[in-house]
């Protein structure tokens, strides 16, 4: 392992949807949504494409890193909601930025950013790239059924990019999957294939809420213990646990079981909802911008999502 993040940048849609707005067409209320999820608003694309968000986030990250696109050797997208089935979101962003390098997407749902970070570490450590641009971006608003109260209240759209180069920041990284397809999924469908008797249409996101909750809380606890044991650290040595922003009840549930203080678990889900692969880097970017993260801080990033995938990274900033 030998990488560091030298620049981050985020971009959110202009349109913010409040709980009160959802209550105009769903049987719900601000009080109910906050009590169940901790979410009050979420950003939803109405004018922007996902490529628009990803491009803007990338330009900000490159500027902060002090480099140009010609310095980037590889572009890795982390998404499951690209504007096209093909080409990849990464190729769409590459075209906008005017770059020429390998570009591909990784689909690991809400663990996508950690998976992409792991891939960047592998390529850089193997000497196949010096600088990698990771773009984690999701338009969850195109995956949910807006008539379904259980899922539509949870998600938001957003993008964040990170410039990764050789360094000594990454202390630990682990990715895995505990295959449970039916727990959280969205069917691809079969198009209009004339050779099958019954067409299977593309579907909206479906999930088993209780199973997702149990998996997430168990996974957070397990991943923290694995990481701490691997690098011979204690929980108090970690300055911030930057978790996928799925639901405040999940984060609070895991934190309570671990008996760790709330100040070590920053959250922005109240404003943005669940942005899948984009949630971890967007929170990281916000904490960098407002100087919460300082040189020498130990950060543990944990993602968990459909698949069921999980990923953990420990960084010394």
Q: What is the pLDDT of residue 75?
A: 98
Question: What are the catalytic residues?
Answer: 110, 244, 274
Could you read off the pLDDT of 116-140 as tens digits, one per residue? 999 999 999 999 999 999 999 999 9
Q: What is the pLDDT of residue 199?
A: 74
Inter-CA distances, 235 with 238, 258, 261, 296, Å: 6, 9, 10, 16
Q: Identify the DSSP state of 144.
A: S
Domain pair 3-168 / 172-316, same fold: yes
Please report, for the chain, the start and end positions of each structural domain, with discontinuous segments joined by +. 3-168, 172-316
Q: What is the pLDDT of residue 1?
A: 61
CATH code assigned to 3-168: 3.40.47.10
* d(C-alpha 61, C-alpha 6), whole Å: 8
Handedness of CA 192, 195, 199, 204 (dihedral sign): negative
Q: In sequence order, which ranges of the chain are alpha helices (DSSP H)?
A: 19-22, 30-37, 50-65, 89-97, 112-125, 149-152, 209-230, 248-258, 269-272, 279-289
Closest CA to 74 of 44, 45, 115, 105: 105
Q: What is the pTM (predicted TM-score) of this model? A: 0.96
Question: pLDDT under 50 in the chain at which residues?
Answer: none
Q: What is the pLDDT of residue 155?
A: 97
Backbone phi, psi, residue 168, to 5°: -120, 20
Half-sphere exposure of 273 (CA within 13 A, CB side): 25
Strands 103-106 and 74-78: parallel
Could you read off the pLDDT of 65-115 as tens digits, one per residue? 999 999 999 999 999 999 999 999 999 999 999 999 999 999 999 999 999
CATH code assigned to 172-316: 3.40.47.10
């Amino acid at each position: 392992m030998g990488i560091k993040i030298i620049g981050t940048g985020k971009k959110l849609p202009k349109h913010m949807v409040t709980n009160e707005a959802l209550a105009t067409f769903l049987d719900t209320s601000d009080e109910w949504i906050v009590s169940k999820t901790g979410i009050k608003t979420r950003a939803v694309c109405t004018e922007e494409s996902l490529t628009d968000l990803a491009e803007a986030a990338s330009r900000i990250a490159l500027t902060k890193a002090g480099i140009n696109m010609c310095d980037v050797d590889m572009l890795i997208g982390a998404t499951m909601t690209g504007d096209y089935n093909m080409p990849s979101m990464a190729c769409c962003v590459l075209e906008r930025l005017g770059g020429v390098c390998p570009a591909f997407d990784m689909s690991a749902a809400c663990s996508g950013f950690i998976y992409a970070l792991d891939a960047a570490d592998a390529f850089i450590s193997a000497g196949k790239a010096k600088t990698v641009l990771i773009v984690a971006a999701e338009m969850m608003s195109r995956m949910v059924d807006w008539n379904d109260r259980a899922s539509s209240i949870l998600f938001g759209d957003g993008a964040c990019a990170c410039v990764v180069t050789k360094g000594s920041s990454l202390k630990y990284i682990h990715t895995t999957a505990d295959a449970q397809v039916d727990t959280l999924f969205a069917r691809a469908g079969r198009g209009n294939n004339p050779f099958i008797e019954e067409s299977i249409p593309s579907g909206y996101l479906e999930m088993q809420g209780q199973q997702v909750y149990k998996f997430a809380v168990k996974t957070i606890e397990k991943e923290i213990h694995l990481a701490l044991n691997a690098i011979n650290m204690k929980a108090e040595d970690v300055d911030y646990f930057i978790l996928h922003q799925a639901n405040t009840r999940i984060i609070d549930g895991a934190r309570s079981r671990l008996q760790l203080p709330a100040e070590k678990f920053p959250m922005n889900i109240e404003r943005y909802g669940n942005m899948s692969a984009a949630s971890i880097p967007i929170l990281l970017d916000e904490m960098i911008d407002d100087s919460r993260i300082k040189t020498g801080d130990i950060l543990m990033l944990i993602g968990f999502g459909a698949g069921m995938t999980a990923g953990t990274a420990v960084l010394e900033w």
